[in-house]
Structure 1
Amino acid sequence: MSDYPIVRAAAVQISPDLESLAGTLRKVLNMIDEAAESGVELIVFPETFMPYYPYFSFVLPPVSQGPEHLRLYQEAVVVPSATTEAIGHKAKERQMVVVVGVNERDNGSLYNTQLVFDKTGELILKRRKITPTYHERMIWGQGDASGLKVVDSAVGRIGALACWEHYNPLARYSLMAQHEQIHCAQFPGSLVGPIFGEQMDVTIRHHALESGCFVINSTGWLTEAQIQSITPDPAMQKALRDGCNTAIISPEGKHLVPPMTQGEGFIYADLDFRLIDKRKRMMDSVGHYARPELLSLHMNAQVSRYVAGLPESVPDTFRTSVLPESFNGGESHDDTTQNESISIPN
């Protein structure tokens, strides 16, 4: 029997810089450097981590959101730009596959976007959350199914979904049917308190079992000072605490290391691909356990176009660098904690 690959993967729990994209990018690049020291080959950052998740939209009424929403427009990421080039360069330098969530600005709209960079530095997947959830609909536009695809990378076949997209079984099935080996899940962190982390745990473990793949789940973290800056209301502040669950799950639905629920840092584990076959031998949801003559999925994977017949190239007013020319990546911080890595036994 041929050898199975073993991939060292990391899930990051980290707080953004709520003031600037440049500050958050600096934290991303530093964390990649720190993970590389532990031999990490795949790293996953939280949902819309760059420049930051719009926590304000969860605690402020719509009539009060204007200033913060406009500020998010100014700090949002254009794809491609100097920001994405910096991440691609770091991925290539560290020979690491990098998955990061961004607020993507496309002219007059923002989108919840997931980016996957291969270890060559190439951007191999850009996908947008298909349906923003609840308060998020005031912030982001809708994505389409053109991004619901699994891509080949240096570490295997990768699929990705953001937050409550994991409650859309057909979206998950579309990735399962493309035989993802590693699923990258991203959440913003706590939004409704402890129950958010509990529900997250159920969701990611179930997807691992149903898909027969590894799940790397990354959640955002807010410091106490950041929580107080977002809202002065003690009742609202409770929603922004104690709901994190950064985890790495095996195809058998097991935590490979204890999940991280508090503080900043990353956990990492060795993914032994033998476990994929071990799980799918028993139950392959998109193979011998499927009944396509009874149940099947129809998917429209075309890119949504608002006007037919426009030229392929339309000027993009915002396709410029959002970073100061003097940006150099900053210095590495010292407070990152690491959970011990493990290898799956024979």
Structure 2
Amino acid sequence: RNIACNVAPVFLDTARTVQKTCSLIAEAARSRADLVVFPETHIPAFPVWASIAAPIDNHKFFSRLAQESLLIDGKEMRTLQQACAQNKVFAHIGFNERSHASVGCMWNASVLISDEGKILNHHRKIAPTFFEKLVWAPGDGAGLKVVDTERCGKVGSLICGENTNPLARWTLMAQGEQLHISTWPSVWPTRRVANEVKSDGGKQYDNIAANRTRSAAHCFEAKCFGVLCSGFMDKDMRDTIIAHSPSAAETIDSLTQGASLFLDPTGAQVGDQVQGEEGIAYADLDLNACIEPKQFHDVVGGYQRFDIFDLRVTRERQGPANAFRLDRKPDPDRSTDAHQDGDVGFLPPPTGFRQMD
């Protein structure tokens, strides 16, 4: 059983958002869930302000986000790990990660935590999208992993726009992915309402259609199940942003919020859907359903030409230590997990897939 939490953070308040997240993990366990998924940068917020106000007006938001962001080996992460262990449930959590080396460096990150409280995968979004470049640093390939779990199958994940990247998606397919997690923000503005109506004639970004299209394509190509988990903009988040940028009120209020739902290996929707409100979506997924459609198109098996195509993936964790090596001590920003090293759960890739460490 899988659960997708279509929920809002306690806006820019990490302590209270972590507390809310732990409560939802406990609720997932009471519902006999194997895996609970949280939205993109659920802790402590998605920086939607970067899309609607000029960078010169957003210093306070940037500073607050940096101060509230998590260290991968910090106390907040340990609290989340303990919640998973105590409730015996897997969790995939999106969060803003800060660097040990720079107080102003942040990544759009996610972790997959086991039912024993271990971090099985730690991923940083490889390329921030559009206005996100004003907030986050680029990530790396260290987290492009599929983890083989007994309870949930072979689990992989990508963050938001990464699901548009065919090479990132194929990297997960090549590791035998059976369950693909994609996480999304509540809203993603691309233009002001006034511009849409009176000026350039373009349309506002349709995040529901865009998210569903990309995720369904991945499920169909990989012959895997999909979990789409979107955030929710609540009144507190809306009012705080509009108080900062009053001219954005019409734009913010015109946006369609994202949806949380599930897809099968044909790209068809299964289970619950939550959209436009806080709530939890449930789906019971039978991973054996991934087998039959492999007869038709197995792009990491008999329907591929590894003698023609060759993908190289650099899996090294990037950080200042890569360019400044006075010693060989581990750099915390290079660690996949505060308690363990190595490619936990990394599956041997097929021919045609080259891992570069």
1:194 and 1:242 in contact (8 A); partners too: no
The corresponding residue for 1:296 is 310
Q: Partner letter of residue 191 of structure 1?
A: W
Q: CA deviation at 1:315?
A: 8.1
Map of 1:120 onto structure 2? 116
Q: 1:206 to 1:312 in 2, by over 3 A?
A: same
CA contact (8 A) 1:242 1:261 kept: no
Residues 117-153 of structure 1, C-alpha deviations (whole Å, 9 max, x = no match): 0111101111100000111111111111121111122
Q: Secondary structure at the match of 1:126?
A: strand
Q: Does 1:211 align with 2:222?
A: yes
Q: How many residues align?
A: 308
* Corresponding residue number in structure 2 for 1:252: 266
Distance 1:275 1:287 in 2: 17
* Alpha-carbon distance change, 35 to 314 in structure 1, aligned in 2, over 3 angstroms: closer
d(CA) in 1 for partners of 2:12, 2:159: 23
The yes-or-no answer on 1:221 pairing with 2:218 is: no
Which whole-Å deviations, capped at 9, do the CAs of 1:264-300 have from their partners, x for residues lacking one?
Answer: 1111111101111022122111111111122221222
Deviation of the 1:242 alpha carbon: 1.6
Post-superposition offset of 1:308 = 3.3
Q: In the alignment, which residue of structure 2 is the partner of 1:4? A: none
Amino acid at match of 2:250: A
Contact 2:48 2:187 in 1 (8 A): no
Provide the rounded CA distance (Å) in 2 between the counterparts of 1:204 and 1:249.
Answer: 8
Q: Corresponding residue for 1:312?
A: 329
| Alpha-carbon shift at residue 67 of structure 1 (Å) | 1.1
- What's the secondary structure of 1:11's corresponding residue? strand
C-alpha contact (below 8 Å) 2:187/2:258 kept by paired residues? yes
Match of 2:256 in 1: 242
Counterpart of 2:86? Answer: 93
Which of residues 189, 193, 197 is equivalent to 2:208? 197
Give the structure 2 partner of residue 152 of structure 1.
148
Deviations 1:186-217 (A, max 9, x none): 00122136711111111111111111111111
Contact 2:39 2:229 in 1 (8 A): yes
Check the 8 A contact 1:194/1:243 in 2, yes or no. no
Deviates more, 1:227-236 or 1:47-56: 227-236
What is the letter of the counterpart of residue 249 of structure 2? Answer: P
Report SS of the residue matched to 2:274: coil
The 3 A distance-change label for structure 1 pair 115 and 314 is closer
Distance 1:313 1:287, change over 3 A: closer
Whole-Å separation in 2 of the counterparts to 1:168 and 1:27: 32
Question: Is 1:111 aligned to 2:107, yes or no?
Answer: yes
Alpha-carbon distance between aligned partners in 2 of 1:271 and 1:79, rounded to the nearest angstrom: 30
Q: Secondary structure at the match of 1:124?
A: strand
SS in 2 for 1:121: coil
- Structure with the higher fraction of residues in helix conformation: 2
Residue 262 (structure 1) aligns with: 276
Which deviates further from its counterpart, 32-41 or 203-212?
A: 32-41
Please say which of residues 78-87 and 223-232 is displaced more in the overlay: 223-232
- For 1:1-346, list aligned pairs within 5 A: 8-107=1-100, 108=102, 109-154=105-150, 155-192=152-189, 195-231=206-242, 232=246, 233-238=248-253, 241-304=255-318, 305-313=322-330
Contact 1:190 1:197 in 2 (8 A): no
Matched residue type, 2:323: Y
Amino acid at match of 2:6: Q
Offset of residue 225 of structure 1? 4.0
Which structure 1 residue ranges, 5 or more long, are not aligned?
Answer: 1-7, 317-346
- String of CA shifts for 1:63-85, please: whole Å, max 9, x gaps: 11111101111100011111111
Q: In 2, distance between residues paired with 1:52 and 1:196?
A: 18
**C-alpha displacement at 1:36, in angstroms?**
1.7
Q: Which moved more, 1:68-77 or 1:305-314?
A: 305-314
Q: Is the 8 A contact 2:154 2:177 kept in 1?
A: yes
Percent identical pairs in the alignment equals: 29
Q: Distance in 2 between matches of 1:288 and 1:243?
A: 40
The TM-score normalised by the length of structure 2 is 0.83
TM-score, structure 1 normalization: 0.85
Once the two structures are TM-superposed, the CA of residue 236 in structure 1 deviates from its matched residue by 2.8
Distance 2:326 2:259 in 1: 46
Higher relative contact order (CA 8 A, sep 6+): 1
Structure 2 residue identity aligned to 1:306: A
How much does 1:258 deviate?
4.2
Q: 2:196 — aligned with what?
A: none
Contact 2:153 2:287 in 1 (8 A): no
**1:91–1:97 CA contact under 8 A, matched in 2:** yes
User: In 2, distance between residues paired with 1:35 and 1:62?
Assistant: 39
**In the TM superposition, what is the alpha-carbon distance from 1:254 to its structure 2 partner?**
1.3
